[in-house]
Structure 1
Amino acid sequence: MSAVFDLDKQKIKTSFGNASLSYDSAARLQQQVGLHLLNQYAEKGLSGKVLDVGCGTGFLTERLLQFASLETIIALDIAEPMLHRARLRLADHSRVAYVCADAESLPFMEQQFDSIVSNLALQWCNLNSETFSRFKKLVKPGGQLIFSTFGPQTLSELKLAWEAVDDYRHVNDFAVQDDLFQALTQAGSKKIQIETVIYKSAYESVLELMAELKFLGAHNVARDRKRRLTTKAELRKLLAAYPKTSEEPGIFATFEVIYVVVSF
């Protein structure tokens, strides 16, 4: 079964555009995962022309510049305000070019890139065989797709708490590892390496967690989400239902990160 979700792409574009100024202050996990992605899975180095899908404010793009043999980086994002922040961050680097586009509709020629890299951005796409087939066409023979994405345990505590409030979907769905493997296999991948890591992030309160998600632009983008504001009574019910830890004050949130390296 492929990972196909009913995503509101205009909502994604607007949410991340609005979060462009606050994103870096809240992106602790995103930066940690991005560094792990490069340090552990790009150890052989990257060269030639690389596409950074979902570059955001340019954190990973800047780290990609450490590879001296990398000739050009195309930094791509669906939100123009994010690209603007990336341009400001990387103004002194001539090896970077910028493209505003949807990762599921990439405006490039076939075999244009030596590798494609993406850090915690592809969860905003339908990760099915069609999407991966399009990525494969863009990469030269022998090239790689290296990415991280969220798995289904992500924000499981928040999802459980919302279930005590109403029947709407408040937390986005994320791809299952087996589904990713199947979709990549169907797309004709020659070699697939997948690792799952569970991160536990601590917060003083549920409200702090929800504020961070807002700062990141990581809103619920499913089309069947609730369209009205949460009432005070619903919020109190949510806070009461969120799983507590007896050992320490505050709360924890689970983030399941799937790291994937694909050879074409």
Structure 2
Amino acid sequence: MNLDNPVAVKFSQAAATYKQHDVLQRITASRLIKLANTEYNADKKTGLTGHLLDLGCGPGTDFESNHCQLTKVTAVDLSPQMLNVVQQSFPQYHTVCADAANLPITANSMDSIYSNLVLQWCDELTQVFNELNRVIKPQGQAFISVVSDGSLSQLETLGLGHNSFRHLDDIIAAIDTEKWQILSAETTTEQVHFADLKALLYSIKGVGASVNEYQDKSLTDKKTNRLRGRKDWLALMDKAESLREANGLPLSYNISYLQLGKR
């Protein structure tokens, strides 16, 4: 694993401030856990059960308060600083610093997998899905959310650059259906609101998501306008105000939610 990886660096820098800005992450976490806690999964004793792998765990998720039937949590992240936060908040979790495409985890050892807003940072997505398949037990399930194409449209309107993201079809194309059964896959729009432009932009930077060096070679950055001083900033703030809604300045994300079962 390369700790100079720009994704690891950015998220390590954001470890101390992450929980101040993780509005979207909390929304998607709630939806993922709801997806896992359906009556069908409860009857089949599937969902988030047994020994859980939390891939790209960030500062950690409180699975116990969300009624998940877990015996152990292995929390994996590329950022050592994020894992330090996990150890402070959830000392019962086992933490591992590793890359999603090369997990130091025994084959067929995990009962379930949870990954919230992580895989958009992975360039070798097929390799990641294959690695997840390797470590999970037969019939185990994975619950995954991914930022996808069409996200951050307001930044485009403002002429600000942002990462490009895969379409759900491209995400699905990276999944080996001889290894995985795709139980559900859909994209929904999640929108968060902010008091002003500064808060909106910090919502991205504050969770480490401003990195763009990770990019899949097939994805290209949008052209951006550079701010050259206070005058440009004030003009940008005025332009942002034209987007304001009743709840504040909006920022939209297209999130793909997947439920996969190992064959």
State the TM bucket, normalised to the shorter chain: 0.7 to 0.9
Correspondence 1:189 to 2:180: yes
Q: How does 1:1-264 map to 2 (within 5 A)?
A: 10-43=5-38, 44=41, 45-58=47-60, 60=61, 62-64=62-64, 67=67, 69-91=69-91, 93=92, 96-126=93-123, 128-162=125-159, 170-186=161-177, 188-222=179-213, 230-232=227-229, 235-236=233-234, 238-239=236-237, 242=240, 244-245=242-243, 248=246, 250-264=248-262
Amino acid across the alignment from 2:74:
I
State the distance in 2 between where 1:223 and 1:184 align: 20
TM-score by length of 2: 0.82
* Shift of residue 204, structure 1, vs aligned partner: 2.4
Taking structure 1 as reference, are residues 69 and 220 closer, same or farther at Cα in structure 2, changes over 3 Å only? Answer: closer
State the distance in 1 between where 2:116 and 2:52 align: 13
For the 8 Å contact 2:193–2:247, the answer to whether it is kept is no
Partner deviation per Cα, 1:105-124 (whole Å, 9 max, x = no partner): 21112212111111111211
3-state SS of paired residue (1:50):
strand
For the 8 Å contact 2:148–2:166, the answer to whether it is kept is yes
For the 8 Å contact 1:158–1:242, the answer to whether it is kept is no
State the distance in 2 between where 1:243 and 1:136 align: 46
Partner deviation per Cα, 1:50-81 (whole Å, 9 max, x = no partner): 110011111x2x22575564221101111111
Taking structure 1 as reference, are residues 140 and 126 closer, same or farther at Cα in structure 2, changes over 3 Å only? Answer: same
3-state SS of paired residue (1:212):
helix
For the 8 Å contact 1:20–1:57, the answer to whether it is kept is yes
State the distance in 1 between where 2:188 and 2:110 align: 28
* Runs (5+) with no aligned partner, structure 1: 1-7, 164-169
* Shift of residue 35, structure 1, vs aligned partner: 1.5
3-state SS of paired residue (1:30):
helix
State the distance in 2 between where 1:68 and 1:152 align: 30
State the distance in 2 between where 1:177 and 1:171 align: 18
Amino acid across the alignment from 1:262:
L
For the 8 Å contact 1:55–1:75, the answer to whether it is kept is yes
State the distance in 2 between where 1:246 and 1:18 align: 30
Partner deviation per Cα, 1:144-182 (whole Å, 9 max, x = no partner): 11111111121111033226xxxxxx3112221111122
For the 8 Å contact 1:192–1:263, the answer to whether it is kept is yes
State the distance in 1 between where 2:8 and 2:250 align: 28
For the 8 Å contact 1:50–1:73, the answer to whether it is kept is yes
State the distance in 2 between where 1:84 and 1:11 align: 19
* Shift of residue 251, structure 1, vs aligned partner: 2.2
Amino acid across the alignment from 1:252:
P
Identity within the alignment, %: 25
Amino acid across the alignment from 2:87:
R
State the distance in 1 between where 2:214 and 2:17 align: 25
TM-score by length of 1: 0.82
For the 8 Å contact 2:53–2:73, the answer to whether it is kept is yes
* Shift of residue 187, structure 1, vs aligned partner: 6.1
